[in-house]
């Protein structure tokens, strides 16, 4: 086991690595935005949610002379901070009814987690917290049953921070999305380890086949000429497979570099709702250089993309310069996409977001901005939800509709 993740009986905490800090920052930022978004309505007085940490570890790390929260404490702190933040200035108090489920298959890690929680004042019988010792897969049926028994929509976040790529089967992710409409999964996946260990025989193993890896996939990987481009392309094809087999509608694959292991890790966010994906994307822009998203930021297809071979600078790093490039790419790519999807009829902005959501590094605000530019250039017309024309330059909303302009334009030369 990697020594940066060993919690022993002596109580000595493992030293936290840089990429683990980044990963936990992303989790924390996402949870903050998540709670702020789902409790927008001042009349709402209760939020039921289950937070599952399927690979919880021992709860804390050493960071120099300081102690740093591991994922179970990041989850607990996020709930408590959200309750304080969201109740400030509220006439009607909001109760966040959160259940936290922690799972780890290493008895010493479970013992360390219990110690850490006790040390921070959580009672051993705290009704909000359940700790399971054993594998995530083994405990998933019970977890699912607990969620479905008490939560109609199954609002939940599963943080699945496995070591490699073999402890979260695609079938488990499908189980989650089949039964829980409001579930989201944040999956750690050692994408480079999988590629580095892949051999001809892998194509016959269920472990690899569940990710759509067959003999052709392995042969393409072995035939690569340019190491870094070949790797980027294969990573991308693998992401497309994982998305397909996960059963999630939305998939945001972002990459995290591990300096210790010299390889890329993928932190994938999976959900059934475009709004959830948009929030995660916002976090990636916030975190900037820590994550490198492979591919252009405008509109792209997951899987093989020849542009990656032609142009190495189609690597997007989430910096302000990239935002400018992204904007230009979207201005060029969106009109034909809008036209294709609308197919002659008015197109709701929400539908456009759903359709392009998986294929851009742009957030909804980026897309609104570009639509507004296109409306000002009279390339598109925007109608309010009630069908009334909106003045070009007014803020676009998800409920608006897009129609083609009555006059031919640069992007739409003929009237359709
Ligand atoms: C990367 S560490 C988790 C770190 C933790 N999520 C954090 O951010 O602080 C992975 C943990 O998963 C546990 N583990 C390994 N295989 C597992 C499995 N199949 N099911 C549940 N836990 C597992 C290990 O004992 C280890 O504590």
pTM for this one?
0.85
Average pLDDT of the chain, as a whole number: 86
What's the confidence (pLDDT) of residue 123? Answer: 97
- Predicted confidence band of residue 310 (pLDDT cuts 50, 70, 90): very low
Domain shared by 336 and 237, yes or no: no
Among 11-15, 187-191, 244-248, 315-319, the range scoring the smallest mean pLDDT is 315-319
Q: Which residues make Cβ contacts (< 8 Å) with residue 39, sequence separation at least 6?
A: 47, 82, 86, 94, 96
Domain shared by 304 and 344, yes or no: no
What's the confidence (pLDDT) of residue 298? Answer: 56
Domain shared by 41 and 70, yes or no: yes
The three-state secondary structure class of 334 is helix
Domain shared by 114 and 257, yes or no: yes
Ligand 1 centroid, distance to 29 Cα (angstroms): 21
The residue among 267, 296, 316 that closes a domain is 316
* pLDDT exceeds 80 at position 413: no
Domain shared by 115 and 243, yes or no: yes
Mean pLDDT calculated for residue range 236-262:
84
What's the confidence (pLDDT) of residue 303? Answer: 44
- Residues 62, 13 contacting (CB under 8 angstroms): yes
* pLDDT exceeds 50 at position 306: no
Inter-axis angle of helices 170-179 and 227-246, nearest 10: 40
Domain count, the chain: 2
What's the confidence (pLDDT) of residue 288? Answer: 55
70 lines ligand 1 (CB under 6 A): yes
Domain shared by 358 and 300, yes or no: no
What's the confidence (pLDDT) of residue 300? Answer: 57
Encoded tokens for 237: 């094809």
What's the confidence (pLDDT) of residue 28? Answer: 93
71 lines ligand 1 (CB under 6 A): yes
408 part of a folded domain? no
- Predicted confidence band of residue 210 (pLDDT cuts 50, 70, 90): very high
Ligand 1 centroid, distance to 192 Cα (angstroms): 19
What's the confidence (pLDDT) of residue 305? Answer: 42
413 part of a folded domain? no
Encoded tokens for 121: 């004042």
Mean pLDDT calculated for residue range 5-14:
92
Ligand 1 centroid, distance to 328 Cα (angstroms): 42
Encoded tokens for 341: 């999807």
Encoded tokens for 197: 């260990």
105 lines ligand 1 (CB under 6 A): yes
Report the first-to-last Cα separation within the chain, whole angstroms: 61
Q: What is the pLDDT of residues 320-349, one digit of tens each?
A: 666 787 788 888 888 888 888 888 889 999
The residue among 316, 345, 367 that closes a domain is 316
Task: Residue 290: give the domain boundaries.
Answer: 3-316
* pLDDT exceeds 50 at position 69: yes
Among 165-169, 302-306, 321-325, the range scoring the smallest mean pLDDT is 302-306
**How far apart (Å, rounded) are the C-alpha atoms in residues 241 and 68?**
35
Ligand 1 centroid, distance to 108 Cα (angstroms): 11
* pLDDT exceeds 50 at position 416: no
Which residue among 57, 114, 166 has the greatest number of ligand 1 atoms within 8 angstroms of its CB, and so is best to mutate? 57
What's the confidence (pLDDT) of residue 141? Answer: 98
């Amino acid at each position: 086991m990697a020594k940066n993740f060993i919690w022993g009986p002596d109580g000595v905490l493992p030293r936290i690595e840089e990429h683990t800090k980044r990963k936990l920052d992303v989790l924390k930022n996402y949870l903050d935005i998540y709670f702020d978004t789902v409790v927008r309505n001042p009349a709402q007085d209760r939020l039921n949610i289950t937070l599952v940490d399927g690979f919880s570890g021992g709860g804390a790390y050493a960071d120099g002379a300081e102690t740093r929260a591991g994922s179970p404490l990041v989850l607990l702190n996020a709930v408590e901070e959200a309750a304080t933040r969201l109740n400030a200035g509220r006439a009607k108090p909001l109760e966040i009814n959160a259940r936290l489920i922690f799972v780890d298959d290493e008895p010493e890690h479970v013992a360390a987690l219990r110690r850490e929680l006790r040390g921070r004042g959580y009672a051993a019988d705290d009704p909000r917290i359940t700790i399971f010792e054993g594998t995530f897969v083994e405990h998933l049926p019970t977890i699912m049953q607990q969620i479905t028994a008490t939560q109609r929509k199954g609002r939940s976040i599963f943080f699945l921070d496995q070591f490699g790529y073999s402890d979260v089967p695609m079938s488990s992710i499908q189980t989650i999305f089949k039964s829980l409409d409001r579930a989201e999964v944040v999956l750690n996946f050692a994408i480079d380890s999988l590629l580095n260990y892949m051999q001809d025989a892998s194509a016959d193993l269920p472990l690899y086949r569940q990710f759509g890896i067959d003999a052709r996939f392995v042969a393409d990987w072995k035939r690569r000429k340019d190491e870094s481009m070949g790797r980027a392309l294969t990573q991308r094809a693998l992401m497309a497979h994982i998305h397909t087999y996960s059963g999630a509608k939305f998939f945001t694959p972002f990459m995290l570099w591990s300096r210790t292991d010299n390889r890329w890790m993928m932190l994938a966010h999976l959900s059934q709702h475009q709004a959830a994906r948009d929030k995660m994307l916002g976090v990636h822009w916030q975190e900037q250089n820590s994550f490198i998203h492979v591919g252009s930021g405008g509109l792209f297809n997951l899987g093989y993309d020849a542009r990656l071979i032609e142009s190495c600078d189609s690597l997007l790093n989430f910096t302000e310069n990239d935002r400018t490039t992204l904007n230009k790419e979207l201005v060029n790519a969106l009109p034909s996409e809008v036209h294709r999807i609308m197919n002659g009829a008015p197109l709701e902005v929400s539908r456009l977001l759903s359709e392009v959501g998986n294929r851009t590094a742009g957030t909804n605000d980026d897309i609104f901005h570009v639509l507004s530019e296109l409306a000002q250039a009279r390339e598109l017309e925007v109608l309010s939800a009630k069908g009334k024309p909106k003045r070009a330059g007014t803020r676009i909303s998800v409920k608006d509709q897009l129609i083609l302009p009555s006059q031919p334009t640069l992007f739409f030369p003929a009237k359709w």
